[in-house]
Amino acid sequence: MFKKLILGTAAVAMLSGAQMMSASAEDMHYVPSLSYRTGPFAGGGIPVANGFSDYMNMLNARDGGIGGVKIVVEECETGYNSQKGVECYESTKGKGALVYNPMSTGITLQLVPKAPVDEIPVLSMGYGLSATAIGEKFPWGFNYPTTYWNQLSSILKYIDSKGGIKGKKIGFIYLDVGYGKEPIPLLDKLATSMGFTTAKFPVGVKEMQSQSSHWLNVRKERPDWMIMWGWGAMNSTAIKEAAKIKYPLDHFIGNWWSGADADLRPVGEVGKGYVAANFSGIGTDFPALQDVLKHVVDAGKSQVKDKSLVGDVLYNRGLFNAVIVAEAIAAAQKATGKKAITGADMRVGLETFDLSAARLKELGLEGFAAPVKASCSDHEGAGSVFLQQWNGSAWEKISDAIAPMNDVVRPLLEEAADKYTADKPDWKTQSC
Amino acid sequence: MSADKSAARGEVRSIDSLVTFPQYLLLNARRFATRPAMRHKNYGIWQSWTWLQMHEEIRAFSLGLKELGLDKGQKIAIIGANRPRLYWTFCAAQALGAVPVPIYSDSIAEEMEYVLEHAETVMAVCQDQEQIDKVLSMGKKLKTLKTIIYDEPRGMRDYDLDELRSFEDVQKLGEKTLGSKDAADEWEKNIYQAKGDDLAVMLYTSGTTGRPKGVMLSNDNMVKTAISANEFDHFDETEQIVAYLPLAWVGDHVFSYGQAFTAGYCVCCPESAETVNEDRREIAPTYFFAPPRVFEIMLTAIMVRMEDAGTFKKKMFHYFLDHASKVGEKILNGEKVAVFDRIKYFIGELMVYGPLKNRLGFTNVKVGYTAGEAIGPEIFRFYRSLGINLKQLYGQTEASVYISAQPDGEIRAETVGRPSPGVEIEIADSGEVMYRSPGVFVGYYKNEKSTKETKTKDGWVHTGDAGFIDDNGHLRIIDRAKDVGKLIDGSMFAPKYIENKLKFFPNVKEAVAFGDGREFVGVIVNIDLTSVGNWAERNNIAYASYQELAAHPQVYKMMAEHIEQVNRDLSGEEMMAGAQISRFLVLHKELDADDGELTRTLKVRRNFISERYAPLIEAIYDGSTEKYVDTEVIFEDGRKGSISATVEVRDVKVFAPVSHKEAAE
Amino acid sequence: MSARTAADIAVGEDLLHVDDISLSFGGVKAIQNISFNIVKGEIRAIIGPNGAGKTSMLNVINGFYHPQEGTITFLGEERRKMRPYRAASQGISRTFQNVALFTGMSTLDNIMAGRSLKMHRNFFWQMFRYGPALNEEIEHRRAVEEIIDFLEIEHIRKTPVGQLPYGLQKRVELGRALAAEPSLLLLDEPMAGMNLEEKEDMSRFVIDVNQQFGTTIALIEHDMGVVMDLADRIVVMDYGKKIADGMPKDVQSDQNVIDAYLGVAH
Amino acid sequence: MFYREAGQYKTSYKADQAIFPIFQDRMAIVFYLLVAFVAIPYFGSDFFITSMMIPFLIFSLAAIGLNILVGYTGQISLGTGAFMGVGAYACYKMTSIFPDVNIIILIISSGIFSAAVGMIFGLPSLRIKGFYLVVTTLAAQFFLEWCFIRVPWLYNYNDSGAIEVPQREALGVIVTGASATPTTRYLIVLAIVVAMTWVASNIIHGRIGRSWMMIRDMDIAAELMGIRPLYAKLSAFAVSSFYCGVAGAMMVFFWLGAAEVESFDVNHSFLILFMVVIGGLGSLVGSFLGAAFIWILPVILRAIPDTIGLDINAATVEHINFMIIGGLIIFFLIVEPHGLARLWALAKQKLRVWPFPY
Amino acid sequence: MDLLFNIFVSPFIEMVTMPDFLLQVLWEGFVSGTLYALIALGFVLIFKASGVFNFAQGIMVVFAALTLVGFHAAGLPAYVSLVLALAVMGFLAWGVERVVLRHLVNQPDLILFMATIGLSYFLIGFGELIFGGEPKSMITEQLGLPTGSTTIEIFDGIVILQHLDIAAAAIAAILVAGLALFFSKTRIGRALRAVADDHQAALSVGISLNQIWAIVWFAAGIVALATGIMWGARSDVSFALQIVALKALPVLILGGFTSVPGAIIGGLIIGFGEKLFEVYWGGLLGGGVEGWFAYVIALIFLLFRPQGLFGEKIIERV
């Protein structure tokens, strides 16, 4: 009996796989969204996924898609788990996917080597492998508008601007996974060149919500500034603990994944003064967002639970991600002259779009983010970040866009890119 | 021992000139040197011997026996279950011109003593300690018995008697002589000197009355019978059979020894009596013999087991069985069958018949035989409809088995077939069946009187069975000639005939009919515990013992229904309609061979029963509705005890004869 | 059956000698100053009421418990502390009061398990189940089959032992112990919980083992009756002390023994 | 029903002791192998091969490894994830140090490292039993996880902290890295899994396997039969970890392509334990069935709404998935605590006694 | 030498030179210890009465807290939500007994353990389906739990005591005391102990095993709710919280699976131990040692005392 059952299911599975293969996209822009609305990091995953799909749906509703072709966003649930992420990739890549937004550094690492083989670009917006910024080495990897490393350099520049950084002790508290560890080489490098010392506080995934000893150590080390590379439940816990040891929160700076509304809302008043980096606008005071509210949210096509969540930091992050994808699709259409494009065309689009200030205005997103200009060699756009501060109930922008230290970061990125490709003899590169 | 020294020597005799089994052994060791001759499930696997190996084993043992002084014409007893070494003993003894006398291993000591003494055996080959103990318990009473040889050494450590030897020791003794002289040549020469009319074997028939009689069978009797039986069913060296019936029974002797040696096929001995079914399944014999009772038990077991199956499976099972009963036999007989029915039968083969045959170990059966008693037509047809070529034969020890058998394509449930090759059959005026054949025995050992009674001067043998040849030339057996009687009103009363009809119900294990010289027919019924027990379980009938179950009103009701059915059948038969069953009782204990109620071959001993249960029989005829009875029983360990019960007697409905003709007389 | 006499045993060679053994668990004295010997080839019974320390005594003999005082001499070698597997490898094998079979394995595998000490093929051959490893399996299978034949358990050869009735389990356990071809076989209440027929069977097997293989047997039994027929010599224990030692008939008439048993039986 | 056992008698112990003594079973194995080696590579879609078959096979191997420990030796372990990690990191380091050595050899030898680590963490099992042993293995799990993060040498000081599979060739075919075709990777994984399953089955049926089961069923009796608990338990830990290690190495090299420590976390250990328990303790077939159930079922469940055109968002599907899987686990444990293997065995038994019910 | 110095000398110097900090560390250890103990208590309750190692305790904590927050978010007053959340936990206990445990009586430990993992999968899916995956904040103030902190100046330094932590410790103490009373004074409590000692005996005095299981699961549900409130208030209420439950394992090992005081003392040992080790020695190993340190303590402990802190020495019998 069982034999039959198993063979039966296998047959179904094989067939369904084949079906997926055959259903290719002629009349749509098929954009898979590897979202995570479950698991320990769902708090961050949900708004990003919502922002992403809502913007695309808005384009469909308002403009009839891009260049007359509808966009289909298919969410695939990864639970922030690399294995499921790969499974999602495998199950959707055959359907004519244009670009992958893995929404997780772990998954990005898995997809980067697959991208050239399957000829589908990977856009890891503000996460993932920083080295993919080097377009020559990573023709298929993108991380507009900026990388972690750039971001860190911007944050350090901000600290420097607040009374100098030389001789100071910078504490770095991070989620002890690939994502959190990524900027450490740059931090160490800049520590020598900028003349500060560091103290590092790794927080294991299991300790995310029980950080008292980490903050005891912070109290012991007494750093002048704290920088946080946190995610998910780690953020709010960290801020609470910081407040508990009476660490001055205005000297506590989170990166752009540690500054979401969802992180601070549970903290509330206690988190007042906490600073975080960001590269996408706050709130809904942009025409495009109003369109989203009008065409999507009010029309009941959004998965957002509450209208007030539109305009959240992470919602807008997801939306911005969608903007870049949409711009790239448009650019690809322009460059190739085709209406329906492929992954390879999309790559061209991702190297040619120009999200200038003017274009942003045109899109109804004036001032939403720093302009990004795509190029063949620069896959990050070297975007700037700004800083925002929690006032107890909402974020306030407290700085202008701070440009990264490109001169320092770029060589480091190149070095990392070389290292990455070193043991891959057939790695596809390009010259720009 | 190297091959060239053993088999390939000596003169080559043409196959037609061979008259004894040892001569066939020599032939087989040469022509089937590497083919399996015997297998025995022992130590978990089927230990196997090729003809060449078996030849060596037998020769060593035979020479050992010779060393121990076994001489031409002397008798050697063989006691035990189906073991290769016991089979070898037949051949080893015959090679020396000695006469093997197999004895039923479940005989009690007194029975055994009689045979050993009567046959004047000088040696006994026993299977194990149990048999040895029996033989030894007779002590000095056996004057002729000088040597006792045992197969299994287990438990024999402390028996330090001079006359005891292990089989291996005897073989070693024989091998020793091989090393020295031309013993092997001598031995073969001796074998070739044997004559066809020399005595081959002596088989004691248990008989329903009196002391067992030693049936003397010559080499010619055995060899010729075996050869023609092989030809009749086209047996060759590729057959495999399972030897599980008593060694001392003529059937087993012919199938597992005679036919095996002449055809050169392989005989497989089961591990033990309990594992026969399992072992048969493993071996999947190509030729299978069983008395009707075995087939009946098997069918009952099948049906009982299927009762526990799920609804779907049960439905499917019966659906296909129904179909098989419609077309199965036709297909087997090569008759015309519609294509659609053939397809359906093929699916049935896949789903039911095939697996079923497989479970029973019948997958490879070319020919199956049943004999000894009448087999229920339903049972017979059931097996045949599955595609098993089951046939009936009719035989006797005195005929070296074969008197008649059913040739392929002419098989009907109620006959026992045409005369076997070389057999002539006549019906005596008394209705008794008589035959003459090459297999007819030499005589009863030391019993001229009986020999004369049974065998006429010109070689005709009384079978003691009443029967007739039907329109198709097939022999039909009605009953034991002496059992056929008449009711007071003159109606013909054939008890066996009635009993068999009853026994065809799975719930009835045994039935004994009375009526000769009485007003009406009465029966004592024995329920089948497996079948009725299962029925009781399904119907939530609680019972603590066989006795309680047998006396249960519901059981009585069921039996009454069965008997009515039999009466209805009888009423439709011209000759039998007058002898319908009027009263019956269900016996409170199972008829048992240990209590002497059945023979060792599990046949009812009518006279014994009518004596033993005289009060009950009285009750049937004096009209009482119940009767207290106290019966002595013998337990397995030999202790005696008694069972008492009050048994109910019931009346049953009798039907008017359906036939328009007048009832006989 | 046995033709041995008391005199035979008295002159026999010591197989095992326990000398002045004491064992306690956290202050509770299980065994106190017990000495006795077991002679090659005999059936030696240790009897006594419940809680007399019989099982503890067996546990001491095969190294499962380590006595605080006293020595054990086995095959002329004195030992104090020893792991059970050492005792096993020296030829002490046993059965258990509450059947301790490997319930997940078949009868065959259980008895095969009893031959563990005799199997040595290394991991490499085991991996491929080839060559020496396979030959070894087959060789030992043959030996195991002889035990199966001896104990008449052919029909349950491939049945998982967990499904067997208690009496058969006991028999399989005896088979497992026999498979090690021990020089000393310890039987812990081999007939406990059996009906009369099973007890008779088991007694027969115990005697057969002793006679057929010449195995020395030490057995614990609660039931005096069985022991009297079976044993050549008997040690009687009560409350951890030895109260009698000798031939069955002597022990039977010993007042201490009668008292001990009466005391329990009330 | 398919079984026709009549006539299949054994005349030697070799035949009787064979792993598949029944002819039809041997045929079934041949059939499965044909399907696995020929039909699936030929007909299977990329998705089916990469997301279902490869992980299924790898998890099956890991489940076999864990089953050796839990099912055959009776030692509970929750460190499977970490032991798989040891294999993966060992393989990664070895191929970095010896880039020219055939990767398949390295994959297999990486098991040696996990075996060694497994033995070290198996040592406490000599004193500790039952749930208490769970803690030691959890200690191994968390300690090793910590090592994978805290010892940058293990991941070649990669900035990402992840191990990324380099491209390697074997016999002139690219077998690892993104350029390796799914079919190539599948066939290698399949070959290794089949070979190692065969070896596992040999070990289990031999002396060593028996000593494990003795320890499992009755450790005291086993010791009194002359089994050294030290050898038996540690060999079980070693073999078990070896299998897990190889599975871990294959997971990274032939399936994921890159892995962070989270790929080897404790949830992973649970996942494998599930496979073992649902599949059936002490059964190799069960390991495969369990892996199929736990891995393939959710993939199919996820595909169902899409296939039948139901528009449910991915998250809801996932939530319902969780509920269904949780419910099914409980259901199976209630209905058949001995796992799918028992159901399999029952089904087989049914077929063997067909048409009889028993 | 440096290493040895760093291991054996400098941490102690630090302790002595910064006594206020040491006090703070000890306080933190104490607080996390009580919280660990609270989680462990949930495990112990169930294990004691049914022999089930309830892996789902972690998710029950999350589920309880989410239910509470969920009711409140739906507009109900905090205390009503609390009562309703308790009712939900009661219903859950009843359901678990009815649907799961009842059918698994007499199964091996491992099977029951796996069943609770299955249960936790189910609850994760169910909880996320209903409440969504976003983190929520605990309704600390609405429940009347204290916020803010007290700063004590001592040894030329400060020790900061969070009011919430004090409350947590107090609530833990009350719960433990309450449970202890329940076990010793009430009929059901005594029945529970009877079950723990001997299922057969309990049955023979007419106690329904099923009832008792439902009751202990409910009790564990109450403990889970308390734990959820405390942990939730310290960070947030999200599914990540379930991971914390794994910390209970070493606590159980130290304290023994069936001992309520054992759970408390085990929790405190782990709490103190891991904070001290992380703060004073963790740096030597690169930090983040908390993840495994508790297990290693438990492991080392087990090697010397396999029966746990409060277990009795096992005499093996054959």
User: Are chains C and A in touch, 3+ Cβ pairs below 8 Å?
Assistant: no
- C30: three-class secondary structure by DSSP: strand
Encode pLDDT of E135-192 as tens digits: 777 787 777 788 777 777 777 777 888 888 888 888 888 887 888 787 777 777 777 6
* pLDDT confidence of residue B343: 93
Encode pLDDT of E103-140 as tens digits: 887 777 778 888 888 898 898 889 888 887 777 777 87
* pLDDT confidence of residue B309: 87
Residue B226 lies in a domain: no
Q: In a structure prediction context, what are the per-residue pLDDT tens digits for chain A, which is 432 residues long?
A: 344 444 444 444 444 444 443 344 457 889 999 988 877 788 888 889 999 999 999 999 888 888 888 898 888 888 888 888 888 888 888 888 899 998 888 888 888 888 888 899 999 888 888 888 888 889 898 988 888 888 888 899 899 888 888 889 999 999 887 788 888 888 988 899 888 999 888 888 777 877 888 888 888 888 999 999 988 878 888 998 898 888 999 899 998 888 888 888 878 888 889 999 988 888 888 999 999 998 888 888 888 888 888 888 889 999 999 999 999 999 999 888 888 888 889 998 988 888 888 898 988 888 888 888 888 888 887 678 889 999 888 888 888 888 888 888 888 888 888 888 877 777 888 887
Question: Poorest-confidence range of A163-172, B562-571, E217-226, E273-282?
Answer: E273-282
- B461: three-class secondary structure by DSSP: strand
CATH 3.40.640.10 assigned to domain C1-91+184-196+217-266? The reply is: no
Phi and psi dihedrals of A39, rounded to 5? Answer: 85, 180
Per-residue confidence at D99, pLDDT binned at 50, 70, 90? confident
| Domain boundaries for CATH 3.40.50.300 within chain C | 1-91+184-196+217-266
Residue that is last in its domain, among B198, B219, B240: B219
What is the crossing angle of helices B339-348 and B311-332, to 10°? Answer: 130
Instruction: Indicate yes or no: CB of D205 within 8 angstroms of CB of C96.
Output: no
Candidate from E132, E160, E231 with C-beta closest to A244 = E160
Average pLDDT, chain D: 88
Instruction: Indicate yes or no: CB of C97 within 8 angstroms of CB of E318.
Output: yes
Instruction: Indicate yes or no: CB of E292 within 8 angstroms of CB of D139.
Output: yes
Per-residue confidence at D113, pLDDT binned at 50, 70, 90? very high
Instruction: Indicate yes or no: CB of C155 within 8 angstroms of CB of B43.
Output: no
Question: Looking at residues D15-27, what average pLDDT do you find?
Answer: 88
Q: Which two tokens stand for residue B83?
A: 């073991």
Residues in chain A: 432
Determine the residue of chain D that is closest to C88 in CA distance: D226
Q: Does the beta carbon of D99 lie under 8 angstroms from any beta carbon of chain C?
A: no
Residue D242 lies in a domain: yes
Same domain membership, residue B522 and residue B432? no
Q: Which two tokens stand for residue C149?
A: 């034949």
CA A380-A385-A389 angle, to 5 degrees, is 150
From residue B366, alpha-carbon distances to A204, A329, B234, B419, C34 in Å are 75, 78, 10, 21, 71
Q: Does ipTM surpass 0.90 in this model? A: no
- Between positions 16 and 45 of D, the ones with CB within 8 A of B are 16
What are the sequence ranges of the domains in chain E?
2-304
Residue D210 lies in a domain: yes
- E272: three-class secondary structure by DSSP: helix
| Contact partners, residue A382, CB within 8 Å, separation at least 6 | A146, A150, A403, A404, A406
Encode pLDDT of C73-87 as tens digits: 888 888 777 788 888
| Contact partners, residue D25, CB within 8 Å, separation at least 6 | none
pLDDT of residue D198 exceeding 70: yes
Candidate from C1, C157, C208 with C-beta closest to B44 = C157
* Cα–Cα nearest to C190, from C91, C86, C4, C55: C55
User: Strand (E) positions, A46-148?
Assistant: 70-77, 122-123, 141-142
A212 vs E contacts (CB less than 8 Å): 28, 31-32, 275
Residue B660 lies in a domain: no
Same domain membership, residue B180 and residue B115? yes
* Cα–Cα nearest to A176, from B8, B646, B570, E282: E282
E315 vs C contacts (CB less than 8 Å): 25
Same domain membership, residue B647 and residue B543? yes
* pLDDT confidence of residue C174: 94
| Contact partners, residue A428, CB within 8 Å, separation at least 6 | A116, A139, A140
Distance of CA B468 to the CA centre of its chain: 23
Residue D33 lies in a domain: no
Encode pLDDT of C1-22 as tens digits: 344 554 455 557 888 889 899 9
Residue D53 lies in a domain: yes
* Cα–Cα nearest to B627, from B647, B607, B606: B647
Q: Beta-carbon neighbour count of residue E153 at 10 Å?
A: 9
Determine the residue of chain C that is closest to D229 in CA distance: C85
CATH label of the domain that carries residue D70: 1.10.3470
Question: Looking at residues D167-189, what average pLDDT do you find?
Answer: 86
* Cα–Cα nearest to E8, from E248, E281, E264: E281
Distance from CA of C66 to the nearest CA of E (A): 12
Residue D147 lies in a domain: yes
The domains located in chain A, with CATH, are 26-146+283-381 (3.40.50.2300), 148-282+387-410 (3.40.50.2300)
CATH label of the domain that carries residue B628: 3.30.300.30
* pLDDT confidence of residue A5: 44
Instruction: Indicate yes or no: CB of D315 within 8 angstroms of CB of E133.
Output: yes
Q: Does the beta carbon of D216 lie under 8 angstroms from any beta carbon of chain C?
A: yes
Distance from CA of C253 to the nearest CA of D (A): 36
pLDDT of residue C265 exceeding 80: no
Average pLDDT, chain E: 80
Q: Which residues of chain B are under the pLDDT cut of 50?
A: 1-8, 660-665
Q: Which two tokens stand for residue E62?
A: 């999350």
Question: Poorest-confidence range of B184-188, C202-206, D155-159?
Answer: D155-159
C55 vs D contacts (CB less than 8 Å): none
Distance of CA A329 to the CA centre of its chain: 19
* Cα–Cα nearest to D185, from D257, D101, D248, D126: D257
* pLDDT confidence of residue B199: 94
Same domain membership, residue B304 and residue B424? yes
Distance of alpha carbon A173 from alpha carbon A176, whole angstroms: 9
Residue B241 lies in a domain: no
* pLDDT confidence of residue E298: 81
Distance of CA B414 to the CA centre of its chain: 19
* Cα–Cα nearest to A203, from A217, A183, A190, A219: A217
Distance from CA of C225 to the nearest CA of E (A): 25
Same domain membership, residue B493 and residue B374? no
**Residue entry with tokens 């070193």:** A422
Task: Tell me which residue range forms the domain holding B171.
Answer: 3-219
Residue that is last in its domain, among B480, B508, B541: B480
Per-residue confidence at C263, pLDDT binned at 50, 70, 90? low
Task: Tell me which residue range forms the domain holding D333.
Answer: 47-353
**Residue entry with tokens 């499992």:** D216
Comparing E209 with C121, which gets the higher pLDDT? C121
* pLDDT confidence of residue E194: 67
* pLDDT confidence of residue D310: 67
Instruction: Indicate yes or no: CB of D52 within 8 angstroms of CB of A20.
Output: no
Per-residue confidence at D277, pLDDT binned at 50, 70, 90? confident
Residue D358 lies in a domain: no
CB distance E111 to E104 below 8 Å: yes
pTM of the model: 0.85
β-partners of residue C233 are C44
D221 vs C contacts (CB less than 8 Å): 96, 100-102
Same domain membership, residue B177 and residue B52? yes
CATH label of the domain that carries residue B417: 3.40.50.12780
pLDDT of residue E281 exceeding 90: no
Q: Which two tokens stand for residue E243?
A: 């991971």
